[in-house]
């Protein structure tokens, strides 16, 4: 019997939490209290009203949505858009030695940004 009562209490608490979350999300950002912000972070893991800080704004004019590009891996977290085809796929000959060095450096930079 106690287990059934505990489950009912948990369901009631979840229902109250869901209702409170919906009420908080209807409010404008300016009217949120500190307790509302803490509740949002505790329930969702992040504050949906927080704006991601961009360091470099050059990517904004290149793509329609910079945050979508970041999410899909086409831009770095700071807002820099990666070139679509930075190097063509020619055969590595003697005259293209500098281009091959640039290609390897770019690959290392992109991997570094992807891991950090």
When pLDDT is averaged across residues 69-86 and rounded to a whole number, the result is: 79
The predicted pLDDT at position 18 comes to 79
Q: Kindly tell me if the per-residue pLDDT of 1 is higher than 60.
A: no
- Same domain (yes/no): 94, 75: no
Same-domain check for residues 78 and 95: no
pTM more than 0.75:
no
Question: Are 72 and 105 found together in one domain?
Answer: no
* 50 compared with 70, residue with greater pLDDT: 70
Same domain, 76 and 90: no
| Distance separating alpha carbons of residues 43 and 14, to the nearest angstrom | 11
Question: Rounded CA gap, 103 and 85, in Å?
Answer: 11
Looking at per-residue pLDDT, the higher value among 104 and 7 belongs to 104
Beta bridge partners of 81: 75
Same domain, 70 and 90: no
Structural domain containing residue 109? 85-116
Q: What is the pLDDT of residue 3?
A: 57
Q: Are residues 76 and 64 in the same domain?
A: yes
Per the structure, the count of domains in the chain is 3
Q: Could you tell me which residues come within 8 angstroms of residue 56 by beta carbon, excluding any fewer than 6 positions away?
A: 78, 79, 80
> Across residues 68-86, what is the average pLDDT?
79
CA dihedral (22, 47, 74, 66) in degrees, to 10, reads 80
Are residues 9 and 36 both part of a single domain?
A: yes
pLDDT in tens, 10-35: 667 777 777 877 787 777 777 777 77
The per-residue pLDDT of the chain, averaged, comes to 75
């Amino acid at each position: 019997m106690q287990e059934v009562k505990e489950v009912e209490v948990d369901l009631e608490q979840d229902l109250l939490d869901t209702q409170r979350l919906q009420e908080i999300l209807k409010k404008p950002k300016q009217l949120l209290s500190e307790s509302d912000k803490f509740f949002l972070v505790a329930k969702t893991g992040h504050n949906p009203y927080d704006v991601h800080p961009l360091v470099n704004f050059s990517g904004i004019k290149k793509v329609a949505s910079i945050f979508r590009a970041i999410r899909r891996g086409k831009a770095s977290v700071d807002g820099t858009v990666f070139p679509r085809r930075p190097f063509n796929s020619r055969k590595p000959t003697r005259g293209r030695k500098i281009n091959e060095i640039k290609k390897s450096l770019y690959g290392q930079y992109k991997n570094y940004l992807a891991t950090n």
